[in-house]
Amino acid sequence: MSNHKAPLDFLLSQPGVSRLTVPRGTIISNTGDSCYELIILQKGQVRVYRPAKDGRAITLYHVNQGESCILTASCILNTQSFPAIAEVEMNAEGLVIPAKKMLQWLKTEPLWQKYIFSLLSHRMSDLISLVDALAFSNLNVRLAKWLLDRSNISQEIYTTN
């Protein structure tokens, strides 16, 4: 992989990696699903969240262009089921990597290792920020930040009752 400038360049050159297009609103992983493949987004956005029994939900993080879902990677590494819901928020296109290839490359491809560990580090930072916000910021501050963040991504904000 040292001949490749980025993980996407590497992926595009590999047999067994396929392309995927998914429309907004599609649930691509549900709580309890088995993880057989990892998707690297090339376009779009996916929201990863945990629902509560009362209908509320907490967003754990968003997967954006050039990223993947670290929970999916973790499920593949630990042969566990998916602990959240992943829903496409903006029409998505991506590269699909079979779990077997992902695991093989973690053993043999330094650039792939770096990509996965960088993704893990980034997501851990996101989750620490989420815990900090929930523990130390009041609702008005969190709502204002959320609205500002969403306005940078899209002109539309979708809500539920």
Residue 59, beta-bridge partner list: 49
In a 13 Å sphere around the CA of 47, the CA atoms on its Cβ side amount to 16
Q: Give domain limits for the chain.
A: 7-153
pLDDT tier at 153, thresholds 50, 70, 90: low
- Checking if the pLDDT of 150 tops 90, the result is no
Structure tokens of 2?
A: 């040292």
- Whether the pTM exceeds 0.75: the reply is yes
Q: How many CB atoms lie within 10 A of CB 161?
A: 3
Give domain 7-153's CATH superfamily.
Jelly Rolls (2.60.120.10)
The CA radius of gyration of the chain, in Å to the nearest whole number, is 17
pLDDT, one tens digit per residue, over 33-71 is 999 999 999 999 999 999 988 988 988 889 999 899 999
